[in-house]
């Protein structure tokens, strides 16, 4: 890129992106709008929670894995 193209690119970037101050904050709090949009969509957070039986099944599967394959213990510890 030559000098003229570089100057032109800098000028275009300065025009496109407004300067940001050191303590730039949003004009307003956005979290209430997020909550409203979730309510409008009917998003249900209780569907995201896994049932307790699923946790018990995972624990039982992990215990069975350790009993059947004891060499997997270091791998499991590494993953934690």
**pLDDT tens digits, one per residue of 46-66:** 555 667 788 888 899 999 999
Secondary structure (DSSP) of 32-73? HHHHHHHHHHT--GGGTSPPHHHHHHHHHHHHHHHHH-GGGH
The predicted pLDDT at position 28 comes to 80
The predicted pLDDT at position 8 comes to 92
Question: Which residues, other chains included, contact 66 with Cβ-Cβ below 8 Å and sequence gap of 6+?
Answer: 72, 73, 76
pLDDT level of residue 69 (50, 70, 90 thresholds): very high
pTM for the predicted model, two decimal places: 0.37
The first and second tokens of residue 29, run together, are 């709090």
The CA distance from 70 to 57, in Å, is 19
Tens of pLDDT, residues 3-31 = 888 999 999 988 888 777 767 777 788 88
């Amino acid at each position: 890129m030559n000098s003229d193209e570089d100057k032109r690119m800098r000028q275009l970037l300065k025009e496109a992106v407004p300067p940001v101050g050191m303590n730039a904050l949003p004009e307003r709090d956005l979290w209430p709008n997020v909550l409203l949009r979730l309510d409008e969509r009917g998003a249900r957070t209780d569907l995201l929670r896994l049932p307790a039986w699923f946790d018990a099944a995972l624990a039982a599967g992990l215990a069975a894995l350790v009993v059947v394959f004891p060499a997997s213990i270091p791998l499991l510890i590494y993953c934690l």
